[in-house]
A and B are shown apart, each in its own frame.
Chain A
């Protein structure tokens, strides 16, 4: 049925095309035999076919031209602002004073709900804390020992090789304490979210006082335009003056958000400082070597490039060489 109607429509199309050709022929011939065809009729036809062409292109574009989005903008979440993070420049390390403040914010605020399970105390030494501070911090927590002679597992104070403990025993406990929402581990969160630092910072500082009129906020959720879906189970946590920085930086909400974001970036890429330093060295040497190799190439090719091939005909030969 479909095929037959398709056939028919081609036939109709053909008919139309024949008509068109016939029309063109006629209009061409009418040029030679002037004033047999009224110019008015011609103009109308041209205008109509132009309108038809433009109209069908517009209609096609309307149907298939725009990109299809699987999600509404609210489901995508607001794109975070791009902030000029100094530590993301090619030649800059983390600001370790910032890391120290950010770790303080993590410990005093976020650690109540979020684990940081891939960070052992030893990595804090020499980047954020002194050895003594790190040891003291580790000893505040208890860890399981190896089984003793009777097979009992006892408790011992933490040491530098231990990992920062999680706030909850397991994910189920974490869900139960947070209305069914699991606070994700923050060790790799900066790498694990589109927008990285910009997103985390925007999320932490992006809670409005009131959800905008008409916004649907589910039970137990909070409105945050940056969170995909806009309803997030984490309430706003950072308020001005929440922590007291030891270096007396004023602890505004955005200052804390910036510090903890840079700290989380460090947690996700602790190798960044060394990587960049090594990268500068490698790129510099490679640039010099590249320049050298270009120079050597040109040196070797100079004779080839500057030679001239000349045909020198044998002296006294006649023009009609063929014998």
Chain B
């Protein structure tokens, strides 16, 4: 139980802390989740999407 003390102090003690933790957590989770799922998606569809064949057709760069 003692180990949970600093955790409690940092996150749940005051309401604004709790609110900040929820919002910050949501933001961070969304970023991590989106990025990794997109990576998984691109892996499943390797060679099928436009970004995979685009280099064959763009002229400049």
Contacts and interface: CB of A to CB of B under 8 A. Distances in A.
Interface of A: 91-97, 100, 126-130, 132-133, 273, 277, 280-281, 284-285
A281 B59 contact: no
Interface string B12-46: 00000000000000000000011001100100110
B34 A133 contact: no
Interface residues of B, number: 16
B32 to A, nearest CB: 12
A281 B34 contact: yes
Contacts of B5: none
B50 A281 contact: no
A46 to B, nearest CB: 68
B48 A95 contact: yes
B37 A281 contact: yes
Contacts of B53: 96-97, 100
A284 B38 CA distance: 13
Given A126-B50, A273-B49, A91 B44 contact: yes
Interface of B: 33-34, 37-38, 41, 44-45, 48-50, 52-54, 57-59
B37 A93 contact: no
A183 B48 CA distance: 31
Given A95-B48, A96-B48, A132-B59, A277 B41 contact: yes
B57 A130 contact: yes
16 contacts: A91-B44, A91-B45, A92-B44, A92-B45, A93-B45, A95-B48, A96-B48, A96-B52, A97-B48, A97-B53, A128-B50, A277-B38, A280-B37, A281-B34, A284-B37, A285-B33
B48 to A, nearest CB: 5
Contacts of A132: 59
Closest CB pairs A-B (n = 10)? A96-B50, A95-B48, A93-B45, A281-B37, A130-B57, A277-B41, A93-B48, A91-B44, A130-B58, A97-B53
A274 to B, nearest CB: 10
Contacts of A128: 50
Given A93-B48, A96-B48, A129-B57, 6 more contacts: A97-B48, A126-B50, A130-B54, A130-B57, A130-B59, A284-B37
A293 B54 CA distance: 44
Contacts of A94: 48
Contacts of B54: 130
A285 to B, nearest CB: 8
Contacts of A273: 49
B46 to A, nearest CB: 10
Contact of B49 (A93, A133, A285): A93
Nearest to A97: B53
Contacts of B48: 92-97
A243 B44 CA distance: 31
Contacts of A93: 45, 48-49
